[in-house]
Amino acid sequence: MPEPDIFRALADPTRRAVFERLSAAELTVSDLTRGFAVSQPAISQHLSVLKGAGMVAERRQGRQAWYRAAPGALEGLEAWVTRYRSFWPERVEALKDVLKEMGE
Amino acid sequence: MPEPDIFRALADPTRRAVFERLSAAELTVSDLTRGFAVSQPAISQHLSVLKGAGMVAERRQGRQAWYRAAPGALEGLEAWVTRYRSFWPERVEALKDVLKEMGE
DNA sequence: CGAATCCATAAGTACAGACTTATGTAATGT
DNA sequence: ACATTACATAAGTCTGTACTTATGGATTCG
């Protein structure tokens, strides 16, 4: 039930790679196009899908379009994973360690 | 990098629904077929994809094949989500509450 | 034994989607 | 003003894939 669009958005490897780059930095379409072996329209189409899934945000400035990963982009996916996680108590200890680390 | 197969496996809604059922109970192919509006071969094909992604386990008994969600089925996905999560400190408090609850 | 059941695989169809080139719109540069 | 740059959309192609029916192998039942 957490928007099925996100699953479809994640299905394509190029699109995942685009998202990963946008989670590290805000980039323009041109920037992204330079980093991949596909055409600029292909990148624009991927961005459109990612945007439709609520995974990226757009900021217009002049003739440029800056894209970045949306805050909470993976929230719906996280909720789904948590719900259908199997044997999850196994991982609690590791999680506690992470939280302790962050508390320092 | 966490097996790309899992993303492809999750892309199809019917397949997600099959997985969700198998995370609640161990079921045979016939059981599953009864619960969906697709043919038995279609179910077998979905199970094959899920198995290829390491998401379900199979147990043979006579002419029946029992399927269930594999332990750690979503581990790779979880790792990916954690890595690309944006603004994740926001969720730490909620997580702490959950862990405290489990400690009781 | 033969019939029925359970499941997987084969083969074919039809649609989704990832790509291309071509083109249009809007902003910037000279 | 005209050319150039940045991006989006249109239209067409081609591959992937979700489904179907048909069939085969293996097990259980009568």
For residue B38, name the pLDDT band (cuts at 50, 70, 90). Answer: very high
The CATH number of B5-103, from 1.20.1440.230, 2.40.50.180, 2.40.30.20, 1.10.10.10, is 1.10.10.10
User: Which nucleotide is at minimal CA–C1' distance from B8?
Assistant: D17
Q: What is the pLDDT of residues A59-78, one digit of tens each?
A: 999 999 999 999 999 999 99
What do you get for the CA distance between the two ends of chain B, in Å?
Answer: 37
Across chain A, mean pLDDT equals: 91
Distance CA A47, CA A42 (A): 9
* Residue B58 confidence class, pLDDT cut points 50, 70, 90: very high
- The whole-number average pLDDT for the span A22-51 is 98
Strand C contact set, beta carbon < 7 A: A 8, 11-12, 14-15, 37-39, 41-42, 45-46, 49, 62-63; B 28-30, 33, 40-41, 43-45, 47-48, 58, 63-66
| Cα B76 off chain centre by | 11
For B74, the closest of A23, A73, A84 (CB atoms) is A84
pLDDT over 90 (residue B92): no
User: Residue B47 CA to nucleotide D4 C1', Å?
Assistant: 54
Average pLDDT value over all residues in chain B: 90
Residue B96 pLDDT > 80: no
Over range B19-38, report the average pLDDT. 98
C-beta atoms surrounding B86 within 10 Å? 16
Higher pLDDT, B103 or A32: A32
Residue nearest to nucleotide D16 (CA to C1'): B8
3-state secondary structure of B46: helix
